[in-house]
Amino acid sequence: MEIWRQIGDIRYELHARDALEGVFPRHESLITLWRDRCGGRALPGWSAFAFEDFRGWWGWIAVGELLDTPEGCIRFRLWGTRVAAISGVEWTGRVLPDPEPPRHDAPHDTSHHTTHGTPQEGTGPDPSPMAALGLGLPAFTDGYLDALTTRRAVGLVSGPLTRADIDQDRADFLLLPLASDGERVDTYLCGLALH
């Protein structure tokens, strides 16, 4: 495990694909499914999964497709219903970075900018999906996603939740690399766990 960056209470980790045993107890079933779908390849493709595979994770996953364009780096093909309810933002079909991000509907204070995990008064809401979870923006725009993709690593972004109306106080957002050709990362399967 390598800590890519620690910003306040938010931590961005990189993990080797072959060193995941017992590392993510809240995500163990998702990791087991991901490994099973590799089928002898370095990485599974999104097409290796079926809706039924995610029983127990329905609503708690997101799927982001990497884009090779100047307009954006990732398009969320799916932003689970529970992830949307907790974040207060629906990102399905949206590209990040997005010049017109969706409105935050979560019942929490979005008047603080949390791009780097530290609120800054008066700068407006952080438009990223991670900010609504209290996990900041670097996961998608400051090189973290590039580091994960280049190394074909598993990522974990963890930090405190900013939602006063949720019993849990921390969120773990796991990023599992997928590759249509089994080698080159083109998609991420993400799972959100609260604790």
Q: Convert the pLDDT of each residue in 97-130 to its tens digit.
A: 665 555 555 444 333 333 333 333 333 444 455 5
> What is the per-residue pLDDT across 159-182, written as a single tens digit (0 to 9) for each?
887 766 677 778 888 999 999 999
Element (H, E) at 31: helix 28-36
How far is residue 129's CA from residue 27's CA, in Å, rounded to a whole number? Answer: 20
Helices (H), the chain: 28-36, 81-87, 129-132, 138-141, 144-151
Q: How far apart are CA 41 and CA 159, in angstroms?
A: 32
- pLDDT number for residue 108: 41
Q: Taking Cα atoms as reference points, which of 63, 118, 143, 129 lies closest to residue 96?
A: 129
Taking the model in full, what pTM does it have?
0.81
